[in-house]
Structure 1
């Protein structure tokens, strides 16, 4: 999908002056205490490209790394947001994936959110950064950390080989829908490979056609069949792929909603989406959120977070 202009809440700061920003940031970290408001004022209102220039100017002026200095001043979720804002998109994604697989247990939601929603170019960039920074391929890391059919779906997504053309092959779409139906609803047990082959390989337009056809054959939306036929991470990753194909912004709106509704907040999900989509499609995610849930994303964040963490997220959200 081609980006239609910039649908982000974060846009280029006019009259940008990297050196002036460096002075503001230095001032915010000088002496006792930290001026978090000044840090938010600068970093939440600059584009990723502008932040890279601030990082270079900071290193030149101070002889130290801006991220390191901020890290020693800040803590918790607020620190996570600020450090995320300083990274280029593939670097942030690779960093998040690495963290999701560190230590005992795996944050599968992170693997799913990122790998199901990124384009081929984005996945190739993430693969390159991951290899460079961790000395081993992302595929090796994923294989070492996941298993079964879930692992196979992630490995397929990591090849970054999805057809990204606009071509819909009618006969193939009908066959694909039939294959999935026969692999799932129409038989005892599920042949998940058939789902993988269709959902991880075909282009978006073709898949939308497959989903229509599937509904005709089975009388059900494909999402409902996936929920009936599968469970756990495999169900989650297939649902994420289908939802991203239908409407990526609605997928992110739902992830944000679920991260905040009910008891407690899944901050890792909230932070990852707010940071990674702020400059891409946050305006559309907000519109979807309001449309689906009848409440603003802004009001949800406001009611669910606090302190400087809340302040920076609300800036990234860009008002009601």
Structure 2
């Protein structure tokens, strides 16, 4: 796993803080300087710049960035300045508050994070908003979709590497009997197995399921479920098979067709640029025959595009 954004080797938080202040002082803002500094520093270095900026300049860097920037460019830059767990927490809160719920965001974050990441999200969410993520999800969603999100939000998936072949066969049979083999679907069985079993176990279950039903598990989910429930279960299966493939598909879908879904595009690029963006890029090219760089170049514009192109690591 490797990210496209690395720390600067001859790093000086003080020099960077002064540079940023100069870029924002007076009339107009030098966006290129902001990009040059913040997109070439690691998250830890950006946090240091934020602290030194306050200590030496006596101002809040995030507030200054927010007042000088706007729109999508502001959203990416402020996202980059946010510690990764807090970034996830803020995105989850945004997805839950106000009119309508951004179900896609809830699914993406909860289905793709590890147990440790989910636990940190829960702690930070409580600390940040004084409420419980699980309760907020429960009050904002309904039926089986709610139960799946709540289950994922506990961060209690089995993470062992041991695979019990007897249980594999049993789970595959259970899924078959809960869906393809009966009239109607026993969604609770799908939830129990897909939300709690380990990755290694589930990969074997998917193979065994295909032997029993002559169908891939994703085909069965598509024919048995619909709407948010279908999306959630498919996301779990895709993340188990290949997290980088899942994110590559999210990026592709955010840009194909009419208009761009900036929320998805920004969130995936910002949240993965220091984790596995190099692998996501390679997977994107393999899946779609065109580089992520050229997709972003053709589909976005302005300073926002410059940042995204930098964060996805240039053309290759």
2:186 to 179, 188, 191: 191
Q: Secondary structure at the match of 1:256?
A: helix
Aligned twin of 1:230: 225
Could you say which residue in structure 1 is the equivalent of 2:24? 29
Deviations 1:205-228 (A, max 9, x none): 000000000000000110000000
Matches of 1:171 and 1:50 in 2, distance apart?
49
2:141 is the alignment partner of 1:138: no
Query: TM-score under structure 1 normalisation?
Result: 0.98
Runs of 4 or more, structure 1, over 2 Å off, are: none
Q: Distance in 2 between matches of 1:245 and 1:39?
A: 37
Question: Which residue is 1:62 aligned to?
Answer: 57
- Pick from 119, 134, 145 the counterpart of residue 150 of structure 1: 145
Structure 1 residue 59 displacement after superposition:
1.1
Shift of 1:63: 2.1
Give the counterpart of 2:100 among 96, 105, 117.
Answer: 105
Distance 2:121 2:97 in 1: 17
1:39 maps to: 34
1:248 aligns with 2:243: yes
CA–CA separation in structure 2 for the residues paired with 1:266 and 1:23: 35
Kindly tell me the number of residue pairs found equivalent between the two proteins: 315
Counterpart of 1:120? 115
Deviation at 1:42, TM superposition (A): 0.7
Matches within 5 A, 1:1-320: 4=1, 7-320=2-315
- Secondary structure of the equivalent of 2:242? helix
Cα offset for 1:62? 2.0
Deviations 1:258-297 (A, max 9, x none): 0000100000000000000000000000000000000000
1:173-209 C-alpha deviation (Å, 9 max, x unpaired): 1100000110001001100110111101011000000
**For 1:200 and 1:89, how far apart are their aligned partners in 2?**
23
Q: Please give the per-residue CA displacement for 1:15-48, whole angstroms capped at 9, x wherever unaligned.
A: 1110010011001101000000000001111111
Q: TM-score, normalised by structure 2?
A: 0.99
Alignment partners' CA distance in 2, 1:195 and 1:108: 19
Shift of 1:302: 0.3
Structure 2 residues not aligned, in runs of 5+: none
Equivalent-residue separation in structure 1 for 2:57 and 2:185 (angstroms)? 59
Distance in 2, Cα, partners of 1:186 & 1:171: 20
| Whole-Å separation in 2 of the counterparts to 1:154 and 1:259 | 22
**How much has 1:144 moved relative to structure 2?**
1.1
